[in-house]
Each structure stands twice: as C-alpha cells, then as structure tokens.
Amino acid sequence: MKISLCRDKKRSGSTPWIILFLLSSAVLVWSKRRWIMYWMRWRQGYNRFGDDIGRISGKPLVIPTALTLRTTRDSVMITIAETAQTHLDLFYDLTQMRRSKLVMLRPSAPQTAREVHARVKALSIQQVQQKGLMFFVMRDNKLIGIIGFVRLHPLTYSGELDVTSNSGFWDDGWAEDMHLSVLDYGFGQLGLQRILCGIERSHRQARTFYDRYGWNLVSVGRAGSPNMYNYVLAKRDYDNIIRPRFVKTLIPKGGHDSALARAFNSQNNGVR
C-alpha cells in the first residue's frame, strides 16, 4: 500500500510539468504558425489556387555553365560563374552606394571586398551544383544590377528570385527589362512552374514593383527574417498577366519596337 502511494505521489508531481511542457509547445507552434505553413506549402508545391505541383514527373533542371542573355534594351546578362575581376569591382562599387540608392530584396548587401568575393564564389558554386543561376546585367560597361535564382528545386520545379540593383536603373523600364529576360528563361527554358521572392519590409521600392505587377503575397515572415514579405508567381500568371504587362511597359508610347514585338511572341527571348 505504501509503494502504491509513493507511485501516486510521483505521478501527481510530474503531471504539472507535463502540462507545462505541452502548453509551452503549443505556444511555440502557434507563434511560428506562419513559417510552418509557408514551409509546408513550399515542400508540397502548394500555391494559393490549391494546385499540387509539388511532384511533377519530367526531366531534371539543367543549369548551363556558360550562358549570355541579351535583353530587349540590349543589356547583356552573363552568368555569375563567368564573371571576371572587373565585374567583382563593379559589384563592390554597387554595394558601397547609399542604401537609398540600392534596390534589394535581402535585408542587406555585402559590405567589404571580402564579403563580395565570398558572395560571388558561393553563387558560382551553386551554379556548378545545379542549384542556382545568377546574372550580372551590364549596359555600356556599367553594372545595372544582379538578378537570378539563388535557389532552384528540381523536385518542385520552383526557384527563388533575388535582385540587387542601382535604383537609378530601376525606373523607366529597366527593372521590367531585366525581369522579362530572366523570368522568360526561368519559365521557358528551365521549365519552372513557380518562382518565389522574399522582400524585406523596408525595401519599399521593390515591394511596390512586385505589388504593381500582380505577384501574389502569400505570407509575412520566415525563419530569421520576421519582416520578410513572401511573394509567389505561378507560370500561368506570368504567361497570361504579368509578361504582357512587362512588354507593354517597354514598348515606346506612340511607337512600335520590333524587338519587343518578337519578345512578346517568344518565350525564348534574348537567348544567345
């Protein structure tokens, strides 16, 4: 009888701790619910229309080791794996501009020459490993910006877009110009079905751009970045809505541009 009472006391003593543990776990899960839902959607290939594109059977993504794209405004886009020291110097100069002069999606840009070199090296390795594809966008020996996919997922046929640009080249159609080329290549050549884009809340110029062109805001916050606005663009939305808007913006008012007309009718725009 004594043994039984001792056991009952031990059980009753541990019960509050078990309840406290369960409550703490529930609070933690609730506080991270947005990130958990975002992660589940990413893993399952779920978009806001409820289409399951997570496990598509087909050929794997093939990332070229050397590639040059030419935009409709004759800017040249070279892959980051082909860059020379001159490009690294231009990238460093770009990162030294005042924050107000930069258009970025990430919270911050590399600050030192060592950080720039490490960033470019990491992106180059991603390209070799078939996990990413970033471009330096050049115009008359000037660096307009860097744009491309920092993550490519062959199982979900999805990628994550990243951009760092001089704000002086962002307006007047330059942003549309480089987005048109890289998104055409992503959806048309790589066969992506959706592209994700995370933008820090403080980067208003970039957020305004993606909101204006109809990217879908699916959540706010992700692990380590509670102020990250997460956008998704599906292929069918790009083909039917956003791509025509890009081209319409780039065509001169009252005029007709044959290069843009060809771009409008071709998903392989600018591949050389």
* CATH number of residue 161's parent domain: 3.40.630.30
3-state helix vs strand vs coil in the chain, percent to 5: 45, 25, 30
* pLDDT value of residue 184: 94
Average pLDDT of every residue of the chain: 77
Residue 272 contacts residue 68 (beta carbons within 8 Å)? yes
Task: Yes or no: say if 71 and 181 are a contact pair by the CB < 8 Å rule.
Answer: yes
Domain containing 25: what range?
A: 20-48
- For residues 129 and 187, state if they share a domain: yes
Instruction: Read off the pLDDT of each residue in 83-89 and give the average, rounded to a whole number.
Output: 85
Confidence check: pLDDT of 210 > 80: yes
Any domain includes 132: yes
Confidence of residue 83 (pLDDT cuts 50, 70, 90): confident
pTM: 0.71
Decide if 208 is inside a domain: yes
* Residue scoring higher pLDDT (103 or 178): 178
Whether 97 maps to a domain, the answer reads yes
Q: Residue range 98-119: average pLDDT?
A: 78
pLDDT at 245: 87
Regarding whether 228 and 113 lie in a shared domain, the answer is yes
CA separation for the pair 181, 170 (Å, rounded): 15
| CA pair distance 124, 75, nearest whole angstrom | 21
Written as six digits, the tokens of 200 are 């820090």
The region of weakest confidence among 71-75, 126-130, 261-265 is: 261-265
Q: Are residues 29 and 126 in the same domain?
A: no
Number of domains the chain contains:
2
- Interatomic CA distance for residues 38 and 220, integer angstroms: 9
Confidence check: pLDDT of 242 > 80: yes
Find, among 53, 31, 29, the residue nearest to 41 by Cα.
Answer: 53
Residue 6 scores a pLDDT above 80: no
